[in-house]
Chain A
């Protein structure tokens, strides 16, 4: 096992958005990956095109932890506007590489970290033969070189990562490589390493790829045979739709004729996007849309139509911070409660809750099968962290089976049947048989409507017919409990259980390892879908204390659990909530659980880090909160100063 500081730290590049730092950060990320060192990268970016602060966290971990790390070990400070705050977030004993001309004061003058000043702008200007407008991009590549030299990146891995990055532009690759070399030589000649953070090649990335969730979801949709995409651009779902288009143009265009076996409509709004999806699915195509919270709100109306008229639809919700416009480029699990019963009247929709990129790929395919099987809109809940960040994952598997198109009758089927009624529950599962427009059988036609209808799809306001239909829909959705993926359970036998879902998983994995090391292990249940699988209650019943960890303020999953669990089990639930817009970290899970395990009185202030507020960790008021007191305001969160992590009853 490597020594302290080796392969186990977090690099944070603090830059200005629009400066091209993403390419530089990807080169570092991929070089680490090529060296066989587990790596995870998270982009914390502004809702802006150019000029606002942005941070890119690259975490290396010999254990393969992929959650956000709360503290920064190695800072690359390129943004004068945030320099002081960024410096404050570096842990004692850490390191800061910075543009040499930025004035150092406040936390940027602290003496407990290693400082590595580099004149990036001057180097780019004097030593690189490039046009002035290219120089700001090249400055970032210079820091790649400085980082590479200081932490010991393998030059071959760096070059490979760079050439991959500029695969389409070999000329640009040479210039960027030159910039990296410049950084390496500058660091070698001018900097003396005084921090412990370095890397050593491992063999822990073989057999994996680096992939963001949005691409994985897009590939799932392609493999599911989705042919109609309708969407309205919205962060953070945009790249999901663009990836669907990219892959469709790669795999679905007949090179000889130019014919396209797909259609992607950029709709006028999310109302139209879901309308197009419903129309296409009604007519027999597999159709999808992807959106985020504000789009989900707009889709409420037609989602109810899909539920009531029983039309398949697949909706990817890549969640971001709400309410309203919220923080458009930050992450949250804020839609789960809303989406599950989206629209007016009594509705309920299957919701899939993938926690990893692989699950997102699988759930994307499953969502189309479920939508067809259940003839209803199905939601896949991702989030910005899962969707837009880079995750290590095994290569996605080619599907070994076909797809389930559900209960669709063709003309010959109708010939064989003496009777067919569109909304009759023939099989006792609440799912009726449908026909598609274009079916030539004279009995195939029916009139789809969002108004009251009887089993023959005819308009009715009959109380009995309405009630019978709604009861059938309830049976249908109850059946979905067994069709959505069951919970993932790891139950070594603790009386404490952590319940989580979605991308929160990665912080929980890390927190559990640490809890186990400290002799207070916790069991784990990860919810994978709604409506809740019966196993969820069974597992909860085996535990005395149950923490429901989620990334929202109000405990939306906890509320869903409470609504379904018997009171005696519901009483065991304790919410543990993180909601400051940056992805949850292991400490946010760990600390309140440890605090609750400590005997009272245990209210002690967490030591403030030097010169800056904390970073979204739970409030130290948590013992009080955990026992049922109202949530108290907590310190401003990290660099964002917009909200906070917190622990609520």
Chain B
């Protein structure tokens, strides 16, 4: 009997080492596809499982943090509060690869404030919004990302304008903003790998149809609608740090963005005018898409040179959590001086 040789990544781990608990989400849920793409991205990038910190809030999406890399530490916190918990974890141990899984309710409603301030601080995190425009666990209420005029299953029309977590992120100075579709692994996996390599907040808004509550005619988050209106602005290829760039392309048709760790994301342009380093261009794309009803996907904006939170905080390379108290207290001499100064 011959055994098929198991494929291993650069750490010698198999893809199974990146799998998690069995999903309890609905069959056909977009989130499950995203989980599979996350597994592939983490495996392909060779992320050390013990350094991975899987962070999430509350909601269907946030459950997904349990469905990949079972070996890693995970934290399913409180609704809308994942960014703050993730911030603390990263400050305590900057070696952690912080991976956040959130949803549209978790990010755009209850957690909007924390989302904004995470971006403002440029926390080094891969932040995936599994965006289906609807509250699943509470059975089908509209979320704040649902498009104006889209309908619920029973016909109720959304009368409020959507919050676009991508344009919001760009406006807040985000350093990596992408949109993708749960059904497009070819696009999503390299985006996830680039997001993991990016040092700073990488927002990935992944449209992820809810088969149970938001997959009907009139919804702008249904599989059918997304497939019809997906307008990729570029097609990404992720090139790992030591890998050679061996892609043939016509000059001017590909944008090469080097990330902090020396890896690259190559963007084969669909719309050749889009420069991912230009936030105004990215905003224009998003505004125009809002008008036409299209969903612009791909890498929208990147600024890989910006300092992340830990850099701005001037933290030592060694995690704060590893310092012993004797390395943190002033000396007795310093203490005596201080006491002498207190009148």
Contacts and interface: CB of A to CB of B under 8 A. Distances in A.
Interface of A: 30, 33-34, 161, 164, 209-211, 219, 222-225, 227-228, 230, 247, 250-252, 254, 257-263, 265, 267-269, 271-285, 287, 301-302, 305, 395-396, 398-399, 402-403, 435-442, 444-451, 458-459
A173 to B, nearest CB: 15
Nearest to A395: B339
A301 B78 contact: yes
Q: Which of A258, A398, A444 has the most CB of B within 10 A?
A: A398
A230 B118 CA distance: 13
Nearest to A164: B343
B264 to A, nearest CB: 28
Given A227-B328, A447-B65, 13 more contacts: A228-B92, A251-B329, A257-B316, A275-B84, A276-B91, A279-B87, A279-B90, A280-B321, A283-B96, A285-B93, A436-B321, A438-B73, A439-B50
Q: Which of A225, A301, A459 has the most CB of B within 10 A?
A: A225
Contacts of A441: 50
A154 to B, nearest CB: 15
B81 A271 contact: yes
Given A282-B75, A398-B332, A444-B73, A437 B114 contact: no
B270 interface: no
B211 to A, nearest CB: 22
Contacts of A302: 77-78, 81
A267 B309 CA distance: 13
B92 A261 contact: no
Interface string B45-64: 00001110111000000000
A222 B330 contact: yes
B319 A438 contact: yes
Q: Pick the 4 closest A-B CB pairs, nearest first.
A: A279-B88, A275-B84, A284-B321, A285-B92
B283 to A, nearest CB: 23
Given A228-B91, A283-B321, A209 B339 contact: yes
Nearest to B75: A448
Nearest to A275: B84
Given A33-B343, A275-B81, A279-B86, A437 B73 contact: yes
Contact of A398 (B21, B65, B335, B343): B335
B91 A438 contact: no
B85 A279 contact: yes
B342 A211 contact: yes
Nearest to B332: A398
A24 B200 CA distance: 48
B88 A283 contact: yes
Given A225-B323, A265-B87, A271-B81, A279 B113 contact: no
Nearest to B74: A447
Interface in B78-104: 78, 81, 83-93, 95-96
Given A228-B320, A305-B77, A438-B319, A263 B328 contact: no
B342 A210 contact: yes
B73 A260 contact: no
Contact of B85 (A250, A282, A398): A282
A438 B96 contact: yes
5 contacts: A259-B316, A279-B86, A282-B85, A285-B91, A402-B324
A209 B338 CA distance: 11
Contacts of A227: 92, 320-321, 323, 328
Contacts of B85: 275-276, 278-279, 282
Contacts of B319: 283-285, 438
B125 to A, nearest CB: 11
Contacts of B93: 283-285, 436-438
Interface of B: 21, 49-51, 53-55, 65-66, 69-78, 81, 83-93, 95-96, 113-114, 116-117, 121, 313-316, 319-330, 332, 334-336, 338-339, 342-343
Given A225-B329, A271-B84, A302-B81, A445 B92 contact: no
A413 B328 CA distance: 25
A247 B96 CA distance: 28
A272 B112 CA distance: 12
B92 A281 contact: yes
Contact of B92 (A260, A275, A279, A402): A279
Contacts of A261: 316, 320, 323, 327-328
B322 to A, nearest CB: 8
Q: Which of B70, B71, B78, B86 has the most CB of A within 10 A?
A: B78
A301 B79 CA distance: 10
B237 to A, nearest CB: 31
A302 B319 CA distance: 24
Contacts of A225: 323-325, 328-329
A436 B123 CA distance: 20
A275 B315 contact: no
Contacts of A228: 88, 91-92, 320
A436 B85 CA distance: 14
B91 A448 contact: no
Contacts of A272: 81, 83-84, 87, 113-114, 117
Nearest to A160: B343
A445 B114 contact: no
A282 B339 CA distance: 33
B84 A279 contact: yes
A260 B313 contact: yes
Contacts of A399: 329
B114 A271 contact: yes
B73 A446 contact: yes
Contacts of A219: 338
A442 B16 CA distance: 14
B320 A403 contact: no
Given A268-B117, A438-B50, A440-B50, A285 B320 contact: yes
Given A260-B314, A284-B321, A276 B76 contact: no
Q: Which of B70, B332, B335 has the most CB of A within 10 A?
A: B335
Nearest to B310: A263
A305 B96 CA distance: 22
A279 B86 CA distance: 6
A277 B329 CA distance: 20
A422 to B, nearest CB: 10
B328 A265 contact: no
A257 B332 CA distance: 23
A458 B51 CA distance: 20
B291 to A, nearest CB: 32
Given A445-B50, A445-B72, A459 B88 contact: no
Contacts of B77: 275, 278, 302, 305, 448-450
Given A209-B339, A260-B313, A279-B86, A287 B81 contact: no
A283 B92 contact: yes
B132 to A, nearest CB: 21
A301 B54 CA distance: 21
Contacts of B342: 209-211, 395
Contacts of B326: 402
A613 B84 CA distance: 49
Contacts of B116: 268
